[in-house]
Structure 1
Amino acid sequence: MKIAYIGTYPPRECGIGTFTQNLAYAMTAKNQDGEKNHKRLIIAMNDFDETYIYPQEVKLTIRQEQQTDYLKAANFINSNGADICILEHEFGIFGGNAGVYVLPLLHHVKIPIIVTLHTILENPSYTEKAILKEICKMADKVVVMSQMAISFLISVYDVPDNKIAFIEHGVPDIQFDRKQSKTEFKLKKKKVLMTFGFIGRNKGIETVIKALPQIIKNHPEILYMVLGKTHPNVLRSSGEEYRNYLQLLIKNLKLQNHVLLLNEFIDETELFRYLSACDIYITPYLHEAQITSGTLTYAMGSGCAVVSTPYWHAAELLQDGKGRLFNFNDSDDLAVTLGTLLDNPSILKDIQRKAYKYGKEIKWPRIGEKYLELAKSILKTPKKESLNEEQAIIDPLILPPFSLAHIKRLTDDTGIIQHAKFGIPNLKEGYCLDDNARALLMSLMAYNQKKNPLALELMPIYLSYIHYMQNEDGTFRNFLSFNRNFLDIKGSEDSFGRTIWALGYLMRNAPNDAYYQNGKLVFFNAVPVLERLNSIRSIANTIIGICYYLQTNPGDEEMVVHLRNLSSKLVTQYENNRTEGWHWFENLLAYDNGILPLSLLHATQILNDERIKSIALESMDFLTENTLKHGYLSIIGNKNWYVKNEERSIFAQQPVDALAMVLMYYQAFLLTKDKEFLNKLFLSFMWFLGENDLRMSLYDFDTKGCCDGIEKYGVNRNQGAESSLAYLISHLTVLQAYEELYQSKEFKSAGLSKTMVNSS
Structure 2
Amino acid sequence: MKLAYIGTYPPRECGIGTFTQNLFNSTVTNYESETLNKGLVIALNDHEQTYTYPEEVKLTIRQEHQRDYLKAAKFINISGADLCVLEHEFGIYGGQNGAYILPLLYRLEIPLVVTLHTILKTPSYNEKAVLQEICKMAHKVVVMSHKAIEFLTTIYDVDEEKIEYIEHGVPDIQFDQLQSKKEFKLDNKKFLLTFGFIGRNKGIETVINALPKVVEKHPEVLYLVLGKTHPNVLRQSGEEYRNYLQRLVKSLRLDGHVLFLNEFVNEEELFKYLSASDIYITPYLNEAQITSGTLAYAIGVGSAVISTPYWHAAELLADGRGKLFDFGNSDELSNIFMDLLDNPKARMDLREKAHDYGRTITWPKSGAKYVALAERILEGKPKALPLKEAAIDPLVLPPFSLAHIKRLTDDTGIIQHAKFGIPNLKEGYCLDDNARALVMALMAYRQKKDTLALELAPIYMSYIHYMQNKDGTFRNFLSFSRSFLDETGSEDSFGRAIWALGFLLAQAPSDAYYQTGKLVFFDASPNFEKLQSIRAIANTMIGISYYLKSNPGDDAMTERLRNLAGKLIHHYKEVRTPDWRWFESLLAYDNGMLPLALLHSAEILHDDRVYEVAMESMNFLTEKSLKDGYLSIIGNENWFKKEGKRSMYAQQPVDALAMVLMYHQAFHVTNDKDYLKKLFTCFMWFLGENDIRLSLFDFETKGCCDGIERYGINRNQGAESSLAYLISHLTVLQAFEEFES
Letter in 2 for 1:537: E
Letter in 2 for 1:2: K
Matched residue, 1:18: 18
Question: What is the CA deviation profile of residues 467-518 of structure 1, one whole-angstrom value per residue up to 9, with x for unaligned ones?
Answer: 944469985663xxxxxxxxx676769999x99xxxxxxxxxxxxxxxxxxx
Distance in 1 (alpha carbons) for counterparts of 2:385 and 2:737: 34
Distance in 1 (alpha carbons) for counterparts of 2:571 and 2:95: 40
SS of structure 2 residue aligned to 1:266: coil
Letter in 1 for 2:5: Y
Distance in 1 (alpha carbons) for counterparts of 2:577 and 2:622: 24
| Contiguous gaps of at least 5 residues in structure 2 | 390-540, 596-611, 629-641, 661-673, 699-727
Matched residue, 1:337: 336
Distance in 2 (alpha carbons) for counterparts of 1:140 and 1:270: 37
Matched residue, 1:260: 259
SS of structure 2 residue aligned to 1:54: coil
SS of structure 1 residue aligned to 2:272: helix
Q: Could you tell me how far 1:361 is from its partner in structure 2?
A: 0.6
Distance in 2 (alpha carbons) for counterparts of 1:322 and 1:427: 61
Letter in 2 for 1:200: G
Question: What is the CA deviation profile of residues 204-260 of structure 1, one whole-angstrom value per residue up to 9, with x for unaligned ones?
Answer: 111101110011122111110111011111111111111111111111211111111
1:77 aligns with 2:76: yes
Question: What is the CA deviation profile of residues 399-438 of structure 1, one whole-angstrom value per residue up to 9, with x for unaligned ones?
Answer: xxxxxxxxxxxxxxxxxx996866979665559999x9xx
Map of 1:586-601 to 2, 5 A cutoff? Answer: none
1:327 aligns with 2:326: yes
Question: What is the CA deviation profile of residues 432-455 of structure 1, one whole-angstrom value per residue up to 9, with x for unaligned ones?
Answer: 999x9xxxxxxxxxxxxxxxxxxx
Q: Could you tell me how far 1:327 is from its partner in structure 2?
A: 1.0
Question: What is the CA deviation profile of residues 514-550 of structure 1, one whole-angstrom value per residue up to 9, with x for unaligned ones?
Answer: xxxxx9xxx9xx9xxxxxx9x88338889xxxxxxxx
Map of 1:1-80 to 2, 5 A cutoff? Answer: 1-29=1-29, 37-80=36-79
Matched residue, 2:476: none
Q: Could you tell me how far 1:289 is from its partner in structure 2?
A: 0.8
Contact 1:225–1:262 (CA under 8 A) maintained in structure 2: yes
Distance in 1 (alpha carbons) for counterparts of 2:216 and 2:141: 49
Map of 1:205-216 to 2, 5 A cutoff? Answer: 205-216=204-215
Matched residue, 1:102: 101
Is 40-49 or 22-31 further displaced after alignment? 22-31
Q: Aligned in 2, Cα 1:468/1:223: closer, same or farther, shift over 3 Å?
A: same
- Aligned-residue Cα RMSD (Å) equals 4.5
Q: Aligned in 2, Cα 1:31/1:353: closer, same or farther, shift over 3 Å?
A: closer
Q: Aligned in 2, Cα 1:30/1:154: closer, same or farther, shift over 3 Å?
A: closer
Q: TM-score under structure 2 normalisation?
A: 0.59
Distance in 2 (alpha carbons) for counterparts of 1:386 and 1:94: 22
Q: Aligned in 2, Cα 1:126/1:431: closer, same or farther, shift over 3 Å?
A: farther
SS of structure 1 residue aligned to 2:315: helix
Distance in 2 (alpha carbons) for counterparts of 1:386 and 1:147: 28
Question: What is the CA deviation profile of residues 306-334 of structure 1, one whole-angstrom value per residue up to 9, with x for unaligned ones?
Answer: 10111111112111111111111111111
Query: Which of 681, 684, 698 in structure 2 is aligned with 1:636?
Result: 681
Matched residue, 2:623: 537
Distance in 2 (alpha carbons) for counterparts of 1:210 and 1:592: 58
Letter in 2 for 1:22: N
Matched residue, 1:711: 731
Q: Aligned in 2, Cα 1:169/1:637: closer, same or farther, shift over 3 Å?
A: farther
Q: Aligned in 2, Cα 1:491/1:111: closer, same or farther, shift over 3 Å?
A: same
1:245 aligns with 2:238: no
1:271 aligns with 2:270: yes
Distance in 2 (alpha carbons) for counterparts of 1:386 and 1:246: 50
Letter in 2 for 1:635: F
Contact 1:92–1:98 (CA under 8 A) maintained in structure 2: yes
SS of structure 2 residue aligned to 1:346: helix
SS of structure 2 residue aligned to 1:189: coil
Q: Aligned in 2, Cα 1:279/1:642: closer, same or farther, shift over 3 Å?
A: same
SS of structure 2 residue aligned to 1:636: helix
Distance in 2 (alpha carbons) for counterparts of 1:8 and 1:110: 22
Question: What is the CA deviation profile of residues 259-306 of structure 1, one whole-angstrom value per residue up to 9, with x for unaligned ones?
Answer: 111111110011001100001100011111111100000000000011
Distance in 2 (alpha carbons) for counterparts of 1:281 and 1:79: 46
Distance in 2 (alpha carbons) for counterparts of 1:637 and 1:179: 70
1:371 aligns with 2:370: yes
Q: Aligned in 2, Cα 1:591/1:163: closer, same or farther, shift over 3 Å?
A: farther
SS of structure 2 residue aligned to 1:115: strand
Contact 1:710–1:716 (CA under 8 A) maintained in structure 2: no
SS of structure 2 residue aligned to 1:220: coil
Q: Could you tell me how far 1:592 is from its partner in structure 2?
A: 7.9
Distance in 2 (alpha carbons) for counterparts of 1:300 and 1:386: 39
| Contiguous gaps of at least 5 residues in structure 1 | 393-416, 437-461, 479-487, 500-518, 527-532, 543-565, 577-585, 594-625, 650-707, 724-760
Q: Aligned in 2, Cα 1:41/1:647: closer, same or farther, shift over 3 Å?
A: farther
What is the total number of aligned residue pairs between the two structures?
495
Distance in 2 (alpha carbons) for counterparts of 1:191 and 1:343: 11
1:151 aligns with 2:174: no
Matched residue, 1:692: none
Letter in 1 for 2:680: I
Question: What is the CA deviation profile of residues 613-649 of structure 1, one whole-angstrom value per residue up to 9, with x for unaligned ones?
Answer: xxxxxxxxxxxxx999xxx999336386442354999
Matched residue, 2:218: 219
Question: What is the CA deviation profile of residues 123-175 of structure 1, one whole-angstrom value per residue up to 9, with x for unaligned ones?
Answer: 11121111111111111111111111111111211111111111111000000
Distance in 2 (alpha carbons) for counterparts of 1:474 and 1:386: 46
Q: Aligned in 2, Cα 1:47/1:334: closer, same or farther, shift over 3 Å?
A: same
Is 425-434 or 137-146 further displaced after alignment? 425-434
Distance in 1 (alpha carbons) for counterparts of 2:626 and 2:118: 50
